[in-house]
Amino acid sequence: MAMLEMCDISVEFPGVKALSSVRFTVESGRIHALAGANGAGKSTLMKVLSGVNGVYTGSITIDGKACEIRSPSSAKMLGIETVYQEVDIPLFPTLSVAENIMNSFMAGNTHRGQFVDWLCIRREAQDALEKLGAQIDVRKTVSELTLAEKQIVLLARGIREKCRFLLLDEPTAPLSQFETENLFGIVRRLAKEENRAVVFISHRIPEIFDLCEHITVMRNGKIAADEEIDEHLTAEKVVEYMLGKKSAGWPGKKRTASHEILLECKNLNEARGHVRNINFTLRAGEIIAFAGLVGVGKTELCKTIFGEYQAASGELMLKGKKISIKTPEAAARAGSAFVPEERRKEGLFIDDPFYANITISSIHHYLYRYFSGAGFIQKKKQIEAAQEQIKNLNIKIPSPLEKVSLLSGGNQQKTVIAKWLSADAEVYIFDEPTKGIDVGAKEEIFALIEELSSRGKGIIYASCEFGEILRLADRIYVMYDGEIVTEKLPSETDEKNLLYYASGAYSAGFGANI
C-alpha cells in the first residue's frame, strides 16, 4: 500500500496566508474527498502536491521517504498526476488523441531525424483507453472531443505514465449525469482494481457521499475536519464544516416582476441549427430560467442572444423596439450583459489585474469616468471602481492589482459579474453561474441575482441544476435538443417533472409521473 503524507504545509502570498500547518494523508486503493469553500486552500494544497507551487514550507513523504516537490516534473516522477477542471489547458488541441496520451513518451524518445512508430503510439494509447473502458478514436484531434472525452484522455495519459496518485479537480463540473456516472465507474476501477490513490476535489456534496470513502474539509487555509464517510456523517455537517457555521440558506424571492415586457424573442433560429424556433418573453424585474441537461442548446441560445453566435432568422425586441445583435459589442451597447459558463476562458482576462477586468465592460459606457481629457485611461479611477465592487460583492482579494488567475473560483465568478455591474445593463444573462463554486458563494450569487431583479433588471438564468432553478426562477423554459419543449411555473413542477421534459422522455411516450 502506497501512502502519501503532507505535514505542516504552509504557503504565504503577499498579505495572505493561504495554508497554515496543513496535514493531509492519502492511501492507495482509496478515494479521498477534499472539500471546502472557495478560497479555503484546496487548490493551493493541490498545487503544492502537483508541483505547480514549489514555494512552501513543511514536509512531504511517500511510503515514509522524504520528497521534494518543487516542479510539475518532480511530481510526475513521483507518480502524481492532476486532471484540472479546465481540461483544455494541459492538452494540445491540434494533436491527435494518441499524441496527447503518449506525449511524455514521444518527448523523451523522438530526436531529430528519428522516425516515429505511429502504429506503436496508437496501439499503446488505445490500450490505455481500453483500461478505462473508453471508446475514443485515437486518430481524432483533441479539438473534436467533448469535455468528457478530454477528461478521459487526461486519465489515459495518467495511466500510461503509471501514476500512483491521481488528483481530480472538480471533474464533474462540465459533465452530464450520464457522463458523471461513467467517470465514477472509471475512478472506482482505478482505485479498487489498479490500487491507485484518488483525491476527488468537489463542491458537490451528494457526489462526494456517492463516490468517496474519506473526506478532508478545509476552511481558511486550515483543516476543519478529517473523517470517514459513513452513516454518522451528514451532508449538513459537511456544509457546517465548510462554512464554520450552519448554512443560513438563501432567503428566496422578495420581489414582484412588472407587467412591462423588457425583452421578447420571436422564432429565433441559430445559424448552425444549434437552437431552433425559440420564443420567450422577459419582464422587467423577472428571472426566467432555461432548464436542460448538458448539451441541449442552453449555452448556444445564450450566446445567440448576446451576439456571439449568429441568428439565421427571428427577431429580438428590447422594450418594444427591434434590435439587431450581430456582435457581443452590439449586445452590450444595447443593454445586455453575459456571464458565460467558461469564466476563465470566455469571461475574464485571466492574466490581467482585477481592476482592468472590472472596468473593461464599462469603458464605452463611461468614457468620462475612466479616461482623461487627452484620451488616456486613468488607472487611478479604474482602481477606485474596482475597490467599490470588491466592497459591494465581498470579493476576497488582497488588492485590486492582484491577477485574476490567483483568485478562487467563486471570486473569479464574482469578478465576471462585477464587471457588468459597472456597465448597468438592462438584461443579465447567466449561463451555469454556480458551476464549480461552493455553497457559500452560491448563496451570495443568488442574493446578487435577486437584488438585480429587485432593481428592475431582467434575468436569464441557464442551468442544468434544477433545484437551483426551482428556488430562483419566476418562470421556467425547459429545453431539449435545441428547442423549448415546455414552459412551467415553479409552483406547478418539481425536479422529476423537469427531468421528464429535459431528458426527452415526453417524446418517448413515458408517463409524466416517472
Say what the pLDDT of residue 111 is: 46
Residue range 123-131: average pLDDT?
Answer: 89
Report the pLDDT value the prediction gives residue 401, as an integer from 0 to 100. 83
- Stronger pLDDT, 305 or 249, i.e. the higher one: 305
Instruction: Considering only CA atoms, give the Rg of the chain.
Output: 24
Average pLDDT, integer, range 161-180: 80
Task: Identify the band that residue 188 occupies on the pLDDT scale cut at 50, 70 and 90.
Answer: very high
Same-domain status, 233 and 366: no
Per-residue confidence (pLDDT) for residue 90, from 0 to 100: 83
- Which residues, in sequence order, are bridge partners of residue 222? 219
CA 407 to chain centre: 14
Residue ending a domain, among 397, 424, 451, is 424
**Domain total in the chain:** 3
The one-letter amino acid at 187: V
Contacts of 421 (CB under 8 A, 6+ apart): 389, 392, 393
Stretch 142-153: mean pLDDT: 87
**Can you list the positions of beta strands (E) in 28-179?**
31-36, 57-62, 65-67, 80-83, 165-169
Mean pLDDT across 216-226: 93
Contacts of 343 (CB under 8 A, 6+ apart): 409, 412, 413, 416
pLDDT band at 107; cut points 50, 70, 90: low
Which residue, 182, 214, 243, sits at the end of a domain? 243
Q: What is the pTM of this model?
A: 0.62
Asked if residue 249 belongs to a domain, the reply is no
pLDDT of 289-348, one tens digit each?
Answer: 999 877 789 999 999 999 999 999 999 999 989 998 889 889 988 889 898 887 777 778
Task: Give the C-alpha separation, 50 to 80, whole Å.
Answer: 6
Point out the domain boundary residue: 403, 424, 445.
424
When the pLDDT of each residue in the chain is averaged and rounded to a whole number, the result is 84
Extract the C-alpha cell encoding 147: 469535455
Give the least confident one: 209-213, 312-316, 398-402, 476-480: 398-402
Question: Is residue 504 scored above 80 in pLDDT?
Answer: no
Which pLDDT score is estimated for 514? 43
Please, which pLDDT band fits residue 367 given cuts at 50, 70 and 90? very low
In 3D space, the residue among 358, 30, 66, 56 whose CA is nearest the CA of residue 197 turns out to be 30
Q: What is the mean pLDDT of residues 240-246?
A: 77
The residues that bridge with 81 in the sheet, in sequence order, are: 166
Q: Which residues pair with 57 in a beta bridge?
A: 10
Q: Is residue 92 part of a domain?
A: yes
Q: 387 and 473: one domain?
A: no
Grouping H, G, I as helix, E, B as strand and the rest as coil, residue 430 is: strand
DSSP state of 310: P
Nearest 5°: phi and psi at 137?
-70, 115
Q: Which amino acid is at 233?
A: L
Which of 52-56, 304-308, 504-508 shows the lowest mean pLDDT across its residues?
Answer: 504-508
* pLDDT for 252 beyond 90: no
**Nearest to residue 45, comparing CAs of 187, 297, 220?**
220
**Higher-scoring residue by pLDDT: 108, 475:** 475
Q: Are residues 66 and 175 in the same domain?
A: yes
Structural domain range at position 298: 261-335+425-514
Residue among 482, 334, 324, 351 nearest 405 (CA):
351
One domain, residues 116 and 201: yes
Distance CA 39, CA 42 (A): 8
Q: Is residue 248 part of a domain?
A: no
250 in any annotated domain: no
What is the C-alpha to C-alpha distance for residues 365 and 354, in angstroms, rounded to an integer? 19
As given in the structure block, the three cell numbers for residue 466 are 434544477
The reply to whether 420 and 447 lie within a common domain is no
- Could you report the per-residue pLDDT of 398-413, keeping only the tens digit for each? 888 888 888 877 788 8
| Confidence tier at 65 by pLDDT (50, 70, 90) | very high
Q: Among 51-60, 329-338, 374-383, 495-504, whose mean pLDDT is lowest?
A: 374-383
Amino acid occupying residue 459:
I
CATH of the domain at 296: 3.40.50.300
Question: Does residue 460 lie in a domain region?
Answer: yes
Highest mean pLDDT: which range of 243-252, 356-365, 415-424, 476-485: 476-485
Same-domain pairing of 199 and 274: no
Indicate if 512 and 389 belong to the same structural domain. Answer: no
* Residue 383 resides in a domain: yes
Does position 243 have pLDDT exceeding 60, yes or no? yes
**Quick one: what percent of the chain has pLDDT higher than 70?**
88
Task: Indicate the range of 25-29, 400-404, 509-513 predicted with least confidence.
Answer: 509-513
Tell me the pLDDT band of 251, cut-offs 50, 70 and 90: low
DSSP 246: -
pLDDT of the residue at 277: 95
pLDDT of residue 386: 79
Closest C-alpha to 470, from 507, 497, 431, 439: 497
* 340 found inside a domain: no
Same domain for 156 and 229: yes
Does 383 have pLDDT greater than 60?
Answer: yes
Looking at the structure, tell me whether residues 226 and 268 fall in a common domain.
no
- Res 370: pLDDT: 47
- Does residue 239 sit in the same domain as residue 205? yes
Residue 475's pLDDT band (cuts 50, 70, 90): very high
- pLDDT score for 36: 83
- Whether 181 and 315 share a structural domain: no
Under 8 Å CB-to-CB from 427, ≥6 apart: which residues?
262, 263, 282, 318, 335, 336, 337, 457, 458, 459, 460
DSSP 248-273: -----------S-EEEEEEEEEETTS
Residue 282 has pLDDT above 50, yes or no: yes
Assess whether 10 and 88 both reside in one domain: yes
Residue 255 lies in a domain: no
